[in-house]
């Protein structure tokens, strides 16, 4: 059975409350429930982690690198645009990773157009809402 990690970065614990016109009204718990349902249908295991702290996310990726994960889905939040250290952690993990963004970062403020972390990932999904997580999960389970 494949084991997939889902990591969410800063402010994603505020889904459903923070800027619902951009991120929607579903909470992170709602998103995780949808992913769990999809994982059950795909016969895979999913583990979730959210942190507002860059170092904690980096530590989690390093921990997972030694735990034989088949894939990782990451929404780095605002760290997408700034964190070389997170990029390096993803690249050094050897875990096939898909970057997901609920909003379309290309349609946002100019500073959000560039992803520092995407180059360490095998793919990126942006602007498809919560469906992006489900598409990433299907992709990783199929590889």
- Edge-first strand listing for the sheet containing 123-126: 45-50, 3-8, 71-75, 97-101, 123-126
Provide the CATH number for the domain formed by 3-142 in this structure. 3.40.50.9100
Q: List, for residues 49-60, the tens digit of each pLDDT value.
A: 999 999 999 999
pTM: 0.93
Distance separating alpha carbons of residues 89 and 108, to the nearest angstrom:
26
Percent helix, strand and coil across the chain, each rounded to 5? 50, 20, 35
Query: Would you tell me how many other CB atoms lie within 10 Å of the CB of residue 42?
Result: 18
Q: List, for residues 1-26, the tens digit of each pLDDT value.
A: 999 999 999 999 998 998 787 778 89
In the block, residue with structure tokens 């992006």: 132
Where do the domains of the chain lie? 3-142
Is pLDDT at 93 greater than 70 in this prediction?
yes
Query: Would you tell me how many other CB atoms lie within 10 Å of the CB of residue 14?
Result: 14
Structure tokens at 73: 């889905």
Catalytic positions are 23, 101
Structure tokens at 26: 């579903």
Query: Would you tell me how many other CB atoms lie within 10 Å of the CB of residue 143?
Result: 12
């Amino acid at each position: 059975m494949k084991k997939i990690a889902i990591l969410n970065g800063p402010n994603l614990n505020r889904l459903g409350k923070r800027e619902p016109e951009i991120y929607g009204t579903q909470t992170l718990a709602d998103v995780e429930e949808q992913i769990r349902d999809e994982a059950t249908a795909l016969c895979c295991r999913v583990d979730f982690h959210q942190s507002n702290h860059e170092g904690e996310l980096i530590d989690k990726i390093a921990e997972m690198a030694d735990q034989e994960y088949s894939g990782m889905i990451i929404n780095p939040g605002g760290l997408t645009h700034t964190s070389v250290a997170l990029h390096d952690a993803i690249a050094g993990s050897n875990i096939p990773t898909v970057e997901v963004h609920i909003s379309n970062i290309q349609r946002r403020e100019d500073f959000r157009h560039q992803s520092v972390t995407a180059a360490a990932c095998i793919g990126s999904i942006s602007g498809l809402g919560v469906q992006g997580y489900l598409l990433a999960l299907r992709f990783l389970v199929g590889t």
